[in-house]
Structure 1
Amino acid sequence: MANMEKTTKKANPFYLTKEWKKKRQEILDRDNHECQECKRQGKVTTRHDMVLEVDHIKELNEYPELAMDNDNLQTLCKKHHNIKHGRYYKFKNRPKKPRSPLINEEWFGD
């Protein structure tokens, strides 16, 4: 049920307001356009490396009164934002499709 209650940009018009867009830019600037989780891990991830998002530390749908509170906002890269919200899956362990040994023969006449 918690997954159904998650607030997304598509579902919540809050993220389209001028006030949020201004606050979002303020937080990105405050955090030097660096993912704060990467920084805690000793890495530097900036807007030049990947997409950065402004995250509500305490969820917006549970704490709407903290929606614009600077202390409740942090910059995260997309990877860490997705991990936080349980949307990150490792594809490394996914089984690979078997490759046909005949591909070269079929296509290149070897």
Structure 2
Amino acid sequence: MVLTIINKQYYIISKHITLSGVSFFMRIEQGSEGMKIVVVYGAPMSGKTTYVRNAMTEYDLVFDYDALTHAMTSTKYQQHNDNAHTLVMSMRDKMIDHAKQSDNGVLYIVTTFLSYKLMSEIETHFNTQYKRMDTSLDECKKRIHDSDRPNKEHVMQVIHEWYGKYIYNKKLTDSDELSRKSKALYNSKDWENIKAMAFERDNHLCQICLRKNRNTKANLVHHIIYVKSDYEKALDLDNLMCVCSACHNKIHSKDEKEVFAGEEKQKNVRVIKV
């Protein structure tokens, strides 16, 4: 039996088995959209929480990973905690199941990156929308500078990761001139100086391993927004991250999903086997 969804209606092709053989018939019904799921994603300081707060009604629910983790631990905002992560992910699964079985209201899921796991869980839900915050990189940087966050340097790295993933690194350019400029950059004293500043800021530790509570010595400085995406950010300390060789290779490999989250998948027509 195959369920095809087109324009939020579903068409069920059923089969009826008789003694003389197999006969087929079609039953057409209006699909129940159920509770709407709205995934609000964007860089830190892009206004996700404010957007949801202004959009919510009394019948709506919100899942905010950072807010929930911060509320149940003594860790800094957006600091990973294994115990809290497991519990909060379980809460998200329960809330998504609730949304699939409910008939009204909206479940807002606030997240920075779109993960493959999240999208696979909501892919079969008939009434799912994505809202990407369009706040500029400069505005997010200004907001974090003006905030009282205790871990500004880490948040600044995540801001650049987000814009690198969804905006800048999608537009790689290459030319002989850029290659010459890049080669000159990596051989310059300015690069050696800014690289030393990055190592000192990050305590010579791989920042990606650190998020997984592993202390690994960093031996490379990575441009979060690539030089081939925006050369003007090549000597921006906020755009640099100290990493180990293993994590650096993952970032630049086809298996990038193990380090950063997956791409948003949008389909106008979906066929689901039931």
TM-score tier, shorter chain, comes to 0.5 to 0.7
Structure 2 unmatched ranges of 5 or more: 1-170, 256-274
Distance (whole Å) between structure 2 residues aligned to residue 14 and residue 42 of structure 1: 33
Q: In the alignment, is residue 60 of structure 1 matched against residue 193 of structure 2?
A: no
User: Identity of counterpart residues, as a percentage?
Assistant: 32
Compute the displacement of 1:14 (Å): 1.1
Q: In the alignment, is residue 43 of structure 1 matched against residue 214 of structure 2?
A: yes
Deviations 1:25-63 (A, max 9, x none): 11001000000000011100125xxxx100000001111
Q: TM-score, normalised by structure 2?
A: 0.27
Distance (whole Å) between structure 2 residues aligned to residue 23 and residue 31 of structure 1: 12
Compute the displacement of 1:12 (Å): 2.0
In structure 2, do the counterparts of structure 1 residues 60 and 85 end up closer, same or farther at CA, with 3 Å as the change threshold? same
Partner of 2:118: none
Distance (whole Å) between structure 1 residues aligned to residue 249 and residue 227 of structure 2: 16
Number of corresponding residues: 80
Distance (whole Å) between structure 2 residues aligned to residue 37 and residue 67 of structure 1: 20
Structure of larger gyration radius: 2
Distance (whole Å) between structure 2 residues aligned to residue 87 and residue 20 of structure 1: 27
Q: Aligned match of 2:246 in 75, 79, 83?
A: 79
Compute the displacement of 1:87 (Å): 7.5
**One-letter amino acid of the counterpart of residue 72, structure 1:** N
Partner of 1:14: 185
Distance (whole Å) between structure 2 residues aligned to residue 82 and residue 63 of structure 1: 21
1 or 2, which has the higher strand percentage?
2
Distance (whole Å) between structure 2 residues aligned to residue 67 and residue 24 of structure 1: 11
Q: TM-score, normalised by structure 1?
A: 0.64
Structure 1 unmatched ranges of 5 or more: 89-110
**One-letter amino acid of the counterpart of residue 222, structure 2:** D
Secondary structure at the counterpart of residue 235 of structure 2: coil
4+ aligned runs moved over 3 Å, structure 1: none
